Amino acid sequence: QVQLQESGPGLVKPSETLSLTCTVSGGSISSYYWSWIRQPPGKGLEWIGYIYYSGSTNYNPSLKSRVTVSVDTSKNQFSLKLSSVTAADTAVYYCTRGGPGDPLDYWGQGTLVTVSS
């Protein structure tokens, strides 16, 4: 059974860079797409972007200028960096498996990241 686990700081200062890592267990990161989703408190789901195991990426146009997603197949991990954060970036961040056309079939438990000084 594939499992995903997010890790990273729960508190980030405004204007700094949010960094999260998702560790995949119970299966290989190879041959799949992997996505990041976020959910502000009390609001709906927002897609951030995806990466293919080979390294190709695609991002939400509204976040594209601030987002970088990378993959480390040797560690079975993929990562998210979101720069120049503001309070509007406060959200639960989820990592998921899924790419173009496919459902997001496996989800991490989510990690709350708060942007505050």
Partner 1 sequence: SYEVTQPLSVSVALGQTARITCGGNNIGRKNVHWYQQKPGQAPVLVIYRDSHRPSGIPERFSGSNSGNTATLTISRAQAGDEADYYCQVWDSRIVVFGGGTKLTVL
What distance in Å separates the CA atoms of residue 49 and residue 37, rounded to the nearest whole number?
A: 7
CA distances 64 to 79, 105, 108, 117, Å, are 15, 24, 23, 24
Whose Cβ is closer to partner 1: residue 16's or residue 66's? Answer: 66
Give me the least distance between CB of 91 and partner 1, in Å please: 13
Task: Candidates 8, 27, 40, 110: give the one binding partner 1 (CB under 8 A).
Answer: 110
HEC readout, 48-73: EEEEECCCCEEECCCCHHHEEEEEEC
Decide: 23 and 96 in contact? Cβ < 8 Å: no
Task: Candidates 74, 103, 116, 117: give the one binding partner 1 (CB under 8 A).
Answer: 103
Instruction: Provide the 8-state DSSP code for 89.
Output: G
Q: Is 45 in the site for partner 1 (CB under 8 A)?
A: yes
Whose Cβ is closer to partner 1: residue 15's or residue 114's? Answer: 114
Q: Is 42 in the site for partner 1 (CB under 8 A)?
A: no
Give me the least distance between CB of 76 and partner 1, in Å please: 19
Q: Is 10 in the site for partner 1 (CB under 8 A)?
A: no
Q: Is 44 in the site for partner 1 (CB under 8 A)?
A: yes
